[in-house]
Chain A
Amino acid sequence: MTTTEQARPSRLKAITAETKQLSFWAENAAPIGLVVLVIVFSILSPTFLTLGNIKAMLVAAAILVILAIGQAFVITTGGIDLSISATMTFGAIGFGLAFSNGAGFWLSALIAIVAAMLIGLINGLLIAKGKVTDFIATLGTLSVATGLALIVSNGKPISVNSPELLTLTSGSLGIFGYPIILAAIIAVGAWFFMFRTRFGLHVQAVGGNEESAVANGISATKIRMAVYLISAALAGVAALLLVARVGAAEPAINTQYLLNSIAAVVLGGVSLTGGKAKIVGPVIGALLLTALTNGLTLLGVSQFYQPLAVGLVVVLAALLTRFQKK
């Protein structure tokens, strides 16, 4: 009995001692930031913590959560996918074209994902086989995918009237809309793949030290191909949510999604140099960025200030990650 009484305060002490170190804040920047934002916004705006608003926020966060997970796989290998939002747009246009030409929902959805993965395949071939720098390769495919989307859609939005998409975007279980449930399922699957399978371990190994990974018989080429395909496939899934949300497939550029997907990963404590995998962190990072935008809107802050706020948060988070424990 005495031992448990002694153990408890010492454990509490250990936690409080940890909070005095900068690295504690750096490791947990995203959850702490999210809690702080929720507290501040709920004080400033009575509607922020209402069930209706929470539900709306979660639905709005779904696309970013899915993109951030895809981006997290790429960034864990030390790469970056700048084409992720353009790939999503390309997938969305693929869906719109297929659907307006009489393909059903499921076939159109499949076409959207395949179209997106085509961009991922190009990224993978360029980076893994062609040894082109990830930054340049995906910058190129960002432009290519955007251009292709404009060309095949003739620059016009394709309106989509699908009852399945309507269910996807408006259906819910309690306060959890279908989009965030889909995102949650993807997050659980991604966590499982990253931390419980050989593939995930190899992704981390290639990002951590490619030379050592290869010396142990891992094919860095295959792993790199795979992460860009995963990122693109998830962009394809996000495309479905995007079309459902807008009610049309638009050849828009969606730069905000690209920047926020990278920002969410950085907020989640993943180092851009690779090797340190996190899934929960980027998911919380995506929720945080959505909460930030939502809160500012509720407070009536001009739209112009939102990119500024997002930018400040990301730069702050990047500064904090410097103090992470090695």
Chain B
Amino acid sequence: MTDNYNFVPAAPHTGTTPARDFILKATDIKKSFGGVHALKGASMTMRRGEITALIGDNGAGKSTMVRCLSGIHRPDSGTIWLDGDDVTFETPNAARERGIETVHQNLALVEDLSVWQNFFLGREKTHGLGPFRTLDRKLMKSTAGDLLKNLAVNVPPVTSKVRRLSGGQRQAVAIARAAGWGSKIVIMDEPTAALGVQETARVEGVINTLRDSGVAVLLISHNFDQVMRLSDHVWVMRAGTAVAERRTLETDGDELVSLITGAKAA
């Protein structure tokens, strides 16, 4: 806990924290779909090596914000700073190349393929030249196995089909895949929404391990207990803007609820 961690700005990011501590800054992001203003100048930050939670009621703009950060949507205006560089992503692949990986709610896994095939889907390792390039199966299997082992306690064999895995194992595979590309930021959209108590605990372990390895995590969650357990910092969105930020240790569920509903001003 350093001093600037204790500082809670009255308005969204005022620039008191040195810029190098922020891995990501989004400033005044606006995005409309036809007449619907999903984001009305939202600003938020993410700090290096922390889990940042993004909370808000349905329709507050969380998903649109995440989609702008992961390159699915292009903001109408506003800037995204990644590591001090001005970046605006045209495509999800562009975001990935800069080190922002997203674990979507549907996980984007192909059930009939094996774990290692899913791990490298679209980014396969090959050897050989030109049309005779063949999949480097050995390398991909061992890499996928290592990354999973580093992250998850309960690892499925990399040759098993995703169809045979439990919900928590699938989530672990998707997270490990996102983390496995030297990513700086991993965005997770409701990672435990469909899981039971035990599986949720396992996935939360995976997310903690990921943070401890130095990756910044953006966690979208409806579960306040989870936000309190996992996150270091919380951003609250309401009606298309980020209305408040708190250090997790200095807030509680009640305050977050009142911030979300607007019962308490930021």
Contacts and interface: CB of A to CB of B under 8 A. Distances in A.
Nearest to B91: A217
Given A198-B124, A217-B122, A218-B121, A208 B134 contact: no
Contact of A197 (B111, B113, B133): B133
B109 A201 contact: no
B92 interface: yes
Contacts of A212: 106-110, 121
B126 interface: yes
- Main SS class of interface, A: helix
Contact of B110 (A197, A205, A217): A205
A322 to B, nearest CB: 16
Contacts of A213: 110, 121-122
B123 interface: yes
A207 B111 CA distance: 11
Interface in B155-179: 163-164
B135 A198 contact: yes
A312 B186 CA distance: 54
Nearest to B117: A201
Contacts of A204: 110, 112-113, 117
A207 B93 CA distance: 22
- Main SS class of interface, B: loop
A276 interface: yes
Interface in A196-238: 196-198, 201-202, 204-205, 207-209, 211-213, 215-218
Given A196-B134, A197-B135, A201-B135, A216 B113 contact: no
A276 B117 CA distance: 13
A177 interface: no
A208 B133 contact: no
Contacts of B164: 326
Contacts of B222: none
A275 interface: yes
Interface residues of A, number: 21
Contacts of B126: 197-198
Nearest to B102: A215
B108 A211 contact: yes
Contacts of A197: 126, 133-135
B113 A201 contact: yes
B104 interface: yes
Contact of B111 (A202, A209, A218): A209
Interface in B127-171: 133-135, 137, 163-164
Contacts of B108: 211-212, 215-216
Nearest to B161: A326
A218 B93 CA distance: 11
Contact of B122 (A208, A209, A216, A326): A216
A208 B110 contact: yes
Contact of A218 (B92, B104, B107, B122): B122
B152 to A, nearest CB: 20
B137 to A, nearest CB: 8
A125 B149 CA distance: 44
Contacts of A208: 110-113
B257 to A, nearest CB: 33
Interface in B59-94: 92-93
A292 B135 CA distance: 38
B135 to A, nearest CB: 6
A275 B109 CA distance: 12
19 contacts: A196-B134, A196-B135, A197-B133, A197-B134, A197-B135, A201-B117, A205-B110, A205-B113, A208-B112, A209-B112, A212-B106, A212-B108, A212-B109, A212-B121, A213-B122, A217-B93, A217-B123, A218-B121, A275-B112
**Closest 9 pairs (CB-CB, A-B):** A216-B122, A217-B122, A215-B108, A275-B112, A208-B112, A208-B110, A212-B108, A216-B121, A209-B110
Interface of B: 92-93, 104, 106-113, 117, 121-124, 126, 133-135, 137, 163-164
